[in-house]
Amino acid sequence: MDHIVIIGNGISGVTLARHIRKLSDKKITIISAETDYFFSRTALMYVYMGHMKFEHTQPYENWFWKKNRIELKKGYVKNVCTKSKTLHFDKGETMPYDKLIIATGSKPNKFGWPGQESNGVMGMYHKQDLENLEKHAPNKDVCKRAVIVGGGLIGIELAEMLNSRKIPVTFLVREDSFWNGVLPEGESEMINRHIKNHHIDLRLSTNLKEIKSDENGNVKSIIIEETGEEIACNVVGLTAGVTPNIDFLKDSEIELGRGVKVNRFLETNIKDVYAIGDCAEQHEAIGNRRPIEAVWYTGRMMGETLAQTICGNKIEYKPGHWFNSAKFLDIEYQTYGWVFGVRGRPEYEKHFHWKHSDDTKCITVAYNKDTNEFLGINTFGIRMRHETFDKWLTEKRNVDYVINHLSEANFDPEFYSKFENDILSTYNNQLQTA
C-alpha cells in the first residue's frame, strides 16, 4: 500500500489528504512542525482579538483524523533524500515515503533591515508569531506603540489586531497609497481614509531604514528612511509579503526557483514528489495568475486537483475564474475575474468606478474598451455572489449586461439598502459624458 507523506498541515495539505482518503485506502501521513492539528491560518487574528479561542480555528474536531485514518506527525523535516525516498527529521528520525507532497506554505519576508532579529520583531503568519505577539504586545502598557512595515493584507490585519487592544499603531507603507499595486486608485484611497478613521497612523510612501534595540536586545524604536524620524515602539511587525517556506529543500535534488518548481500536474522534477499551495511555483504562469499563488483558495484547489492524480486519475491543475476576498478593518472586499491596479494593467482594460457617499462602499468594474467584454469586478462593502460572476465570466457577458443585472449578483443580508439603481445611473451618466 502506498504511503503518501504530506509535509505541511495547512489548507493545501489537509485538503489533499481528505480527498485522497475519499478516493482510496492509501496510508496517509501529514507532518507539521507548527501545530498538532490543522487550523485556519486566516483566523489567527481573531484569537488575539478575543473573538475566538485557538481551538475554534481548528475546522475539524480532534477525533476526525483517527476516524479518517490520517496520521499526524509533529516534527521538523530537515532534509529530503529523494533517491532513497526518505525524510530526515531534525531529531534524527527518518520516515520512508512512496509519494511525497510538499505543502509547507510561506514565511514572512525579511529584507535584511538592520535590527530585524531583535526581540519584538515578528511576522504574522505562524502560530508561533501569534504567541510571540501575545508575549510582546499583551496590552497597551507593555506595548506602548507598534510599527507595522508593509502595506498588504497581513499588515492591515495586524493593525486591526493591535487596535483591538488599544495599542497605538504606526503603519509604514512603501507605496503612495495602500495596496495600490493591486487595487485601482479609487478603492485604495478609500481604504487609506478608512485606516485613518480607525486612528491608525498611516504613513504612505514611507520605508523602514533600521530597527533599534535596547541593551537587552528588545526593540525600542525604528528609523524612517525618508525623513530619518525615530519612532519609539515595542513591537515591529514585518508584513512585507511572504516567500515560499522551502529552505529545507536546498540540499535536495528537487528543482527550486523562488518556490518548488512544478508543472501543470503539480509534479516536481523528481518522480513521486509533488508541491502544492503557497510553496509551489509554476514554470509558467497560468493566464493572468502569478507563478506563485499564495492564496488560501488556490492552495485548496491544488489539493483537490492533486488528489485525483495521486489516486490514478491524472489531471492538470486548471483553475477556473480568479476570485479572492479580504477584509480591511470594517470593509469587506471581494473580487471576481481580473481588475488591475495601475501596475500591470493591460492597455485594453478600462474601469467603471462607483463609490457611495458614506465612503465605505464602492465597486470597480473592469471591461475591455474595444469589445466591451466584462473582465472582472472589485466590490467593497457590498457582498456579491460568486456563482453569478463565475457564470457571467464564462458567458463572456458585456459590461452593459453586468451593470444592468447587478441586482442578481447581490449577496448582502436581507433588508440591506440596495445600490444597483444608483450604480446604474452613475454608469449611464458617465457614458453620456464620455
Partner 1 sequence: MSLAKPDAVDISNKQKIALAVGVIGLFVLVLALFNTNFPNKAVFLSLSLGLIIVGIVVYARDAYLNKLEGIKNDGVWFKSISSRGIWGWIVGIILTTFYIVLYFFPKYLGLGSDGEANSGLIGLFDPLSQLLSGRNASQWFVYGTLYTVAILAFGYKFMLKYRHNRYQQLRTVSVMFFQLGFAFLIPEFMYVMNNDLPYYDLKSMWPLNYYIFDEWSVNGFLSNGNIGLALILFGIISIFVISPILTYKYGKRWYCSWVCGCGGLAETAGDSFRQLSSKKMSAWKIERWLIHTVLVFSVLMTTAVIYTYLGYDKNDFWLTRDVFIALVIGFLTLVFAAVMFFKRQELGKDAKYGAIGFFVAITVLLVMHFTGTTENLFYVKASVLRSSYGIYIGSIFSGVIGTGFYPILGNRSWCRFGCPMAAVLGFQQRMFSKFRITTNGGQCISCGNCSNSCEMGIDVRAYAQKGENIVRSSCVGCGVCSAVCPRGVLKLENDSMEGRINPTEILLGNDVDLMDLVNKK
Q: Which residues in this chain contact partner 1 in the complex, by CB under 8 A?
A: 11, 19, 22, 40, 42-43, 46-47, 49-59, 61, 130-131, 134, 138-139, 164-166, 197-198, 296-297, 300-301, 304-305, 308, 315-321, 323, 325-327, 329-330, 332, 334, 383-387, 390, 394, 411-417
The answer to whether 307 and 294 are in contact (CB under 8 A) is no
Q: Which residue has the cell 440596495?
A: 418
The distance of Cα 34 from the centroid of its chain, to the nearest Å, equals 18
Residue type, 222: I
- The number of C-alpha atoms within 13 Å of 294 and in the hemisphere containing its C-beta is 21
Name which of 159 and 256 has its Cβ closer to partner 1. 159
Question: What is the smallest separation between the CB atom of 49 and partner 1, expressed in angstroms?
Answer: 5
Name which of 243 and 309 has its Cβ closer to partner 1. 309
Take residue 182 and report the three cell numbers written for it. 493591486
Name which of 132 and 213 has its Cβ closer to partner 1. 132
Name which of 4 and 47 has its Cβ closer to partner 1. 47
Name which of 195 and 222 has its Cβ closer to partner 1. 195
Could you tell me which residues are beta bridge partners of residue 274?
101, 267
Question: What is the smallest separation between the CB atom of 4 and partner 1, expressed in angstroms?
Answer: 18
Name which of 296 and 354 has its Cβ closer to partner 1. 296
What does the alpha-carbon distance between residue 312 and residue 279 come to, in Å, rounded to a whole number?
Answer: 24
Nearest one of 353, 350, 342 to 367, comparing CA atoms: 350
Question: What is the smallest separation between the CB atom of 225 and partner 1, expressed in angstroms?
Answer: 31
Question: What is the smallest separation between the CB atom of 102 and partner 1, expressed in angstroms?
Answer: 20
The answer to whether 100 and 275 are in contact (CB under 8 A) is no
Name which of 192 and 213 has its Cβ closer to partner 1. 192
Question: What is the smallest separation between the CB atom of 256 and partner 1, expressed in angstroms?
Answer: 26
Name which of 212 and 383 has its Cβ closer to partner 1. 383
Quick one: which H or E segment has residue 210?
strand 208-213
Question: What is the smallest separation between the CB atom of 145 and partner 1, expressed in angstroms?
Answer: 16
Residue 84: burial class (beta carbons within 10 Å; 0-12, 13-18, 19+): exposed
Name which of 55 and 253 has its Cβ closer to partner 1. 55
Take residue 328 and report the three cell numbers written for it. 480591511
Question: What is the smallest separation between the CB atom of 188 and partner 1, expressed in angstroms?
Answer: 19
Name which of 175 and 359 has its Cβ closer to partner 1. 359
Name which of 176 and 387 has its Cβ closer to partner 1. 387
Question: What is the smallest separation between the CB atom of 125 and partner 1, expressed in angstroms?
Answer: 15
The answer to whether 381 and 332 are in contact (CB under 8 A) is yes
What does the alpha-carbon distance between residue 104 and residue 96 come to, in Å, rounded to a whole number?
Answer: 18
Question: What is the smallest separation between the CB atom of 193 and partner 1, expressed in angstroms?
Answer: 11
DSSP string, 22-57: HH---EEEEEESS-SS---GGGHHHHHTTSS-GGGG
Name the DSSP class of 108: E
Take residue 198 and report the three cell numbers written for it. 480607525
3-state helix, strand and coil shares in percent for the chain, rounded to the nearest 5: 25, 30, 45
Q: Which residue has the cell 442578481?
A: 408
DSSP string, 324-385: EEEEETTEEEEEEE----STT--TTEEEEEEE-TTSS-EEEEEEETTT-BEEEEEEESS-B-
Take residue 117 and report the three cell numbers written for it. 532579529
What does the alpha-carbon distance between residue 391 and residue 327 come to, in Å, rounded to a whole number?
Answer: 24
Take residue 79 and report the three cell numbers written for it. 532534509
Question: What is the smallest separation between the CB atom of 317 and partner 1, expressed in angstroms?
Answer: 8
Pairing status of strand 99-102 against strand 273-275: parallel
Question: What is the smallest separation between the CB atom of 229 and partner 1, expressed in angstroms?
Answer: 28
Quick one: which H or E segment has residue 95?
strand 94-96
